[in-house]
Structure 1
Amino acid sequence: MSIPTATTTDHDRRPIGFGIFLIVTGAVAWYAAMQLITERVALLIDPSHVLNCDVNPLVSCGTVMASPEASLFGFPNPLLGVAGLVAPIAVGVALLARARFARWFWALFLGGVTLAWVFVMWLFGEAVYDIGALCPWCMLVWLMVIPMFWWLLTWTLSTGVLAREGGAVQRVAAAVWPFTWTIVFVNLAGIALAILVQFPTLIPSLLG
């Protein structure tokens, strides 16, 4: 997706492209989290229910759902996603409506998305190195939250929304902004490489 070039003008503080980006990534991740909740409820109602994300022993939401990590705070993790992922959708819609937000709001929003990124990276590590199974819907959430975090971080700093305009942080972030996609690519490629190394039979199992 093409993201508008970062500047410090009032118009570019509320870019249309960035608003659409937040809506799309937030909505897709929210849908994936809702699918996990729906499938969990279906399994509770009917223990014989076959989850729509159970492909084989390696790609299995059921295996992940049965792990302690799937309910880290005493309730299913996807509930956090269903509740929290409404925020980027709402912010994206507000940007399209040319709403203006205070610096403290952007700081809180970035803080929330940062926590989501940390949580996603932790879940990735647990799934690959402890649980030993991959959840397709979970991975779709990872695929949306990771770029959301990196682009939000560079956007808020490069536009001066959170960094002092004209300061060193803002200048560095503005130089990095056009290349944010490379950071996202490295993050996702690292996850993909770890999965392929840990599960060398994954691709043959999917093709077979």
Structure 2
Amino acid sequence: MSTSATTPRRPIAMGIFLLVTGLVGLYASFSLVLDEFAKYENPTKALSCDVSPFVNCSQVMTSWQGHLLGFPNPLLGVMGFVAPVAVGVMLLAGAQNGRRWFWVAFNTGVFLAWVFVTWLFTQTVWVIGYLCPWCLLVWSMTIPMFWVFTIWNAAQGRFGAGLQRVGRTLLPYSWAFVLANYAVIVVSILIMFPRVLATL
């Protein structure tokens, strides 16, 4: 008897997706931590990401928004991005049939990360008035991680049968949500920094 009908197919694509977005987000967060340490050592030092009057990591990381919980925000990224890396490896190893609470809890964490970077985006663009390249990279990884994984998770039936039907319907178009989210950021930047492209 063939085992293909009884053995669930491993979600390799989702595993690779979480692994890649998690690793890139981890790299960006760690780079920000290194820049933070460099700033502590020499507060007047210009960082490698301080490239123009608009694109300036120093201005962002020295703001109160950059230390929302009393310590540098990138430390949250260094800790948080370990989770999708671990889950991605787990999916690639074939352990996709864990308990429902685990997937809901992980999705909740991804959602909170998306809420946090959305808030940071509004603060960076509309309040602080500077752009941070490493922050942009973190945002660009967190946004697809939230939308694509959440819709995929719903399609797996982990939020109930009703949302499973919705998830399966939306899954082929999940990247449309990502592109729409990106578009909001790009349009906001162009509104607030009309000359930003000329400085990059």
TM-score (norm. length: structure 2): 0.94
2:144 is the alignment partner of 1:147: yes
Aligned partner of 1:134 in structure 2 is: 131
Q: How does 1:1-208 map to 2 (within 5 A)?
A: 11-12=8-9, 14-99=10-95, 100-160=97-157, 162-164=158-160, 167-206=161-200
Partner of 1:137, secondary structure, is: helix
- 1:10 and 1:146, CA in 2 relative to 1: closer, same or farther beyond 3 A? farther
CA distance in 2, matches of 1:22, 1:10: 22
CA distance in 1, matches of 2:8, 2:55: 44
| Per-residue CA distance 1:144-184 (angstroms, 9 max, x = gap) | 00000001110111121x133xx332111101000001110
**One-letter code of the match for 2:134?**
W
3-state SS in 2 of match to 1:56: coil
Q: 1:157, 1:144 → 2: CA distance?
A: 20
Equivalent-residue separation in structure 2 for 1:122 and 1:10 (angstroms) = 42
Question: What is the CA distance between 1:49 and its match in structure 2?
Answer: 2.6
**Pairwise CA distance, 1:24:** 0.2
- Partner letter of residue 87 of structure 2? V
Shift of 1:50: 2.2
Percent of aligned pairs sharing the same letter? 51
- Deviation digits for residues 57-82 of structure 1 (CA, Å, limit 9, x no counterpart): 21000000111000000000000000
SS at match of 2:126: helix
Which residue does 1:3 correspond to in 2?
A: none
**Matches of 2:50 and 2:35 in 1, distance apart?**
11
Q: Which runs of 4+ in 1 moved over 4 A?
A: none
Deviation at 1:202, TM superposition (A): 0.5
Superposition deviation, residue 45 in structure 1: 1.5
SS at match of 1:88: helix
Q: For structure 2, which runs of at least 5 residues remain unmatched after alignment?
A: 1-5
Alignment: residue pair count: 194
State the secondary structure of the residue aligned to 1:183.
helix
